[in-house]
């Protein structure tokens, strides 16, 4: 199959799979709703067909409980996948990922600082914004440390990420001990990563950051492609290398910070989605980034469905589900890359 | 003819070390120049300074008679293409997409590619004779083929000046011959070509040669004149003797330790 034909096929499959995943996630759960009823209820909201086909309880579950949660899952997954793909172009390494690069721990530290100082309770946007700041600081720190001795190797990058993540995690622990008890549970809950009890205000918050951030990263597709050729070649092609890097870092933090603030840390999504797609749609940003958004959204919607379908009374943390799937994938991918180096 | 690109008393430092110490060199349209010199003479630095990538600490580089630092970067990249020896592009990137990135200085981050861009890419692929590889991923190519794809990216920029830093470094002899043949065609189309060439015999491909030694142009002129000069012998620390073959072919050189 020629590459354009394969690419069209992949986009068709992803575009079909996302609504299917959303519909499944809206229908399945402790109270099952019929998929046709879900579609009917959506049609009724749009002014078509009889109102409230799911009954009063069903309607509340669908519109107040499941829909915001599923929307957040899609935004979180899509956002993390696009951030992963962008960072991979930037670091010119297919295994760079927001989680491995300390973005998650950095964002978590920022969020815990906001909770500890009481900002999060006073102002609605304080938590996501300080998560953004934490993510950005972690990225800049890793970038500066890893590039101190020239172009970083994969191991240099991962180890630097590990070190910065460890420091951020340690800071988070210290702050947790110092945080008043009634706030600690909120933080712990949230650090594990999950979407339980998230409502429309969280969905709106995620959308307000993720959608513009992702759109801006889409617009930077071509500069990211040029940058992936190497610093010198990019500069010789008139790309303002450092400015582009700083802007991309800022946008990645803008997306990953609020995502972490809303959903906690969801590891490996930014790694798996772009990694699996690069071979299918090629490495050019204008194909890889949109495809990663769709695949990441599908991945987290399905992972969240799995997290809440696992037991009858207990929900698995979403972050654990993606880690259980993602970590083995990462090990295999790492082995593949080492084999080529 | 006034120079397309000209270095005047050019000093360039890398870190604290002054690598170029007063280089004077000019190149006109359609001219080919081989830049030779021992290791650490500053050849790569000179090439990058001529591309406007390294600032002068003293002296200047002029492009079309204007200081290169006063040019907007995209305009420099439309006039000057740099092709280095190492290709760091992603292995999954396809040849035609790699070459198309050479249009970045013309189109910038957002503008859609036009028929003109597609024509430039097609021309670059044709000139380097890698049209049959256009849809292959870079990772599946030989070193020689990758080097040609890198050269094609430079040609897709449609530069007036093509700078090459040891373009033949990883190539076997057949690919080397092909590469220099392509460079001849490029030059004939009116582009100025300046190539750093390690292999002195191969460097005689250009009608003009410049010897860079310890940050200065020690001598320049026709290859035989440069290679058989005392300056060349001193710069490389060897004895160089020219021989014209009995069959009247191109002049050859023998290199011997002193």
What are the pLDDT digits (tens) for B59-76? Answer: 999 999 999 999 999 999
Query: What integer pLDDT is reported at residue A149 of this predicted model?
Result: 66
ipTM surpassing 0.85, yes or no? yes
Give the predicted TM-score (pTM) of the model: 0.90
B20 close to B41: Cβ distance less than 8 angstroms: no
A238 contacts chain B (CB < 8 A): yes
A2 contacts chain B (CB < 8 A): yes
Residue ranges of chain A with per-residue pLDDT less than 70: 99-100, 149-154, 186, 189-192, 312, 337-341
pLDDT tens track for A212-270: 999 999 999 999 999 999 889 999 999 998 889 889 988 998 898 888 888 887 888 99
A99 close to A162: Cβ distance less than 8 angstroms: no
Residue of A nearest to B139 (CA): A340
Find the mean pLDDT for residues B202-221: 95
Query: What integer pLDDT is reported at residue A141 of this predicted model?
Result: 87
Query: How close, in Å, is residue A282 to chain B by CA atoms?
Result: 6
State residue A333 phi and psi, 5-degree precision: -65, -40
B196 close to B164: Cβ distance less than 8 angstroms: yes
What is the distance between the terminal CA atoms of chain B, rounded to a whole angstrom?
41
Q: Does A92 sit within 8 Å of B88, measured CB to CB? A: yes
Sheet containing B80-83, strands listed edge to edge, beginning at the edge strand earlier in sequence? B80-83, B161-165, B192-196, B32-36, B208-213, B216-221
- Alpha-carbon span A229 to A240, nearest angstrom: 14
A138 close to A288: Cβ distance less than 8 angstroms: no
A35 contacts chain B (CB < 8 A): no
Residue of B nearest to A226 (CA): B101
Question: According to the per-residue pLDDT averaged within each range, which of A126-135, A177-186, B179-188, B244-253 is highest?
Answer: B179-188
Residues of B in contact with A228 (CB under 8 A): 89-90, 93
Query: How close, in Å, is residue B82 to chain A by CA atoms?
Result: 6
Query: How close, in Å, is residue B48 to chain A by CA atoms?
Result: 9
B140 close to B60: Cβ distance less than 8 angstroms: no
State residue A331 phi and psi, 5-degree precision: -60, -45
Q: Does B73 sit within 8 Å of A278, measured CB to CB? A: no
Query: How close, in Å, is residue A341 to chain B by CA atoms?
Result: 11
Query: What integer pLDDT is reported at residue B170 of this predicted model?
Result: 79
- Alpha-carbon span A204 to A226, nearest angstrom: 34
- Alpha-carbon span A178 to B131, nearest angstrom: 65
Query: What integer pLDDT is reported at residue A152 of this predicted model?
Result: 63
Residues of A in contact with B86 (CB under 8 A): 230
- Give me the total of CB pairs closer than 8 Å, taking one residue from chain A and one from chain B: 66
- Where are the domains positioned within chain A? 3-12+72-336
- Alpha-carbon span B71 to A115, nearest angstrom: 50
Query: What integer pLDDT is reported at residue A1 of this predicted model?
Result: 72
Q: Pick the residue of A154, A229, A230 with the most B CBs within 10 A to test the interface with B by mutation.
A: A229
Q: Pick the residue of B47, B109, B138, B149 with the most A CBs within 10 A to test the interface with A by mutation.
A: B109
Query: How close, in Å, is residue B8 to chain A by CA atoms?
Result: 21
Find the mean pLDDT for residues B127-133: 94
For residues A251-282, one letter each, b for 16 or more C-beta atoms within 10 angstroms of the residue's C-beta and e for the rest, the string is bbbbbbbbbbbbbbbbbbbbbbbbbebbebbb
Give the count of beta carbons closer than 10 Å to the beta carbon of residue B136.
15
For residue B158, is it left (φ>0), alpha (ψ between -120 and 50) or beta?
A: left
**How much is the mean pLDDT over chain B?**
93
Range with the poorest average pLDDT among A132-146, A160-174, B78-92, B123-137? A132-146
pLDDT at B202 over 50: yes
Q: Does A229 sit within 8 Å of B94, measured CB to CB? A: no
Name B137's Cβ contacts closer than 8 Å, sequence gap at least 6: B91, B92, B93, B94, B95
A268 close to A322: Cβ distance less than 8 angstroms: yes
Range with the poorest average pLDDT among A71-85, A158-172, B120-134, B193-207? A158-172
Query: What integer pLDDT is reported at residue B77 of this predicted model?
Result: 96
- Alpha-carbon span A83 to A79, nearest angstrom: 6
- Alpha-carbon span A290 to A300, nearest angstrom: 16
Torsion A120-A208-A321-A279 (CA) sign: negative
CATH number of A3-12+72-336: 1.10.3470.10
CATH number of B5-257: 3.40.50.300
Query: What integer pLDDT is reported at residue A100 of this predicted model?
Result: 66
Residue B1's pLDDT band (cuts 50, 70, 90):
very low
Residue with the larger pLDDT of the pair B129 and A338: B129
- Residue at token pair 């750093």: B196
pLDDT tens track for A92-116: 888 777 766 778 788 888 888 888 8
């Amino acid at each position: 199959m020629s590459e354009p034909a394969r690419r069209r096929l992949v986009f068709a499959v992803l575009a079909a799979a996302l609504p299917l995943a959303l519909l499944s996630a809206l229908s399945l759960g402790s109270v099952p709703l019929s998929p046709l009823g879900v579609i009917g209820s959506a049609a009724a909201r749009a002014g078509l067909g009889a109102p409230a086909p799911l009954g009063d309880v069903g309607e509340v579950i669908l519109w107040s409980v499941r829909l915001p949660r599923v929307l957040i899952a899609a935004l979180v997954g899509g956002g993390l996948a696009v951030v992963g793909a962008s960072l991979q172009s930037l670091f010119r390494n297919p295994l760079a990922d927001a989680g491995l690069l300390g973005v998650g721990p950095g964002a978590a530290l920022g969020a815990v600082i906001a909770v500890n100082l009481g900002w999060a309770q006073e102002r609605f946007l304080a938590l996501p914004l300080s998560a953004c700041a934490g993510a950005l600081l972690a990225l800049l720190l890793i970038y500066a440390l890893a590039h101190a001795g020239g172009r970083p190797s994969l191991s240099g990058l991962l180890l630097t990420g590990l070190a910065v993540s460890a420091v951020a995690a340690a800071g988070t622990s210290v702050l947790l001990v110092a945080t008043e008890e009634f706030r600690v549970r909120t933080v712990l809950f949230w650090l594990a990563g999950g979407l339980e009890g998230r409502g429309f205000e969280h969905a709106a918050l995620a959308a307000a950051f993720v959608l513009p951030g992702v759109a801006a990263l889409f617009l930077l597709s071509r500069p990211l492609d040029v940058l992936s050729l190497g610093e010198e070649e990019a500069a010789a092609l008139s790309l303002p290398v450092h400015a582009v890097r700083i802007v991309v870092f800022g946008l990645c933090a803008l997306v990953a910070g609020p995502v972490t603030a809303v959903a906690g840390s969801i590891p490996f999504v930014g790694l798996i989605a772009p990694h699996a797609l690069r071979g299918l749609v090629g490495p050019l940003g204008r194909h890889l980034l949109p495809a990663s958004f769709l695949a990441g959204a599908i991945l987290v919607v399905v992972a969240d469905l799995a997290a809440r379908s696992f037991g009858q009374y207990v929900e698995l943390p979403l972050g654990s589900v993606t880690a259980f799937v993602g970590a083995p994938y990462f090990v295999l991918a790492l082995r593949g890359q080492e084999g080529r180096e | 003819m006034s120079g397309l690109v000209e270095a005047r008393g050019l000093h360039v430092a890398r870190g604290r070390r002054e690598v170029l110490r007063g280089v004077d060199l000019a190149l006109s349209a359609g001219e080919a120049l081989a830049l030779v010199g021992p290791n650490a003479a500053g050849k790569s630095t000179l090439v990058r300074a001529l591309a406007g990538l390294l600032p002068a600490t003293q002296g200047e580089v002029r492009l079309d008679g204007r200081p290169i630092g006063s040019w907007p970067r995209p305009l420099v990249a439309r006039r000057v293409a740099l092709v280095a020896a190492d290709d760091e592009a992603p292995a999954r990137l396809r040849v035609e997409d790699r070459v198309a990135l050479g249009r970045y200085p013309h189109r910038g981050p957002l503008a859609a590619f036009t028929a003109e861009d597609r024509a430039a890419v097609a021309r670059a692929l044709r000139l380097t004779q890698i049209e049959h590889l256009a849809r292959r991923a870079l990772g599946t190519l030989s070193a020689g083929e990758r080097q040609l794809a890198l050269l094609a990216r430079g040609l897709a920029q449609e530069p007036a000046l093509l700078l090459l830093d040891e373009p033949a470094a990883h190539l076997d002899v057949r690919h080397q011959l092909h590469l220099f043949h392509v460079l001849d065609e490029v030059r004939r189309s009116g582009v100025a070509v300046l190539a750093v060439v390690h292999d002195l015999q191969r460097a005689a491909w250009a009608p003009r040669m410049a010897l860079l030694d310890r940050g200065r142009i020690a001598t320049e002129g026709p290859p035989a004149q440069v290679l058989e000069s005392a300056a060349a012998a001193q710069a490389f620390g060897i004895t160089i003797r020219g021989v014209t073959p009995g069959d009247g072919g191109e002049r050859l050189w023998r290199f011997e330790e002193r």
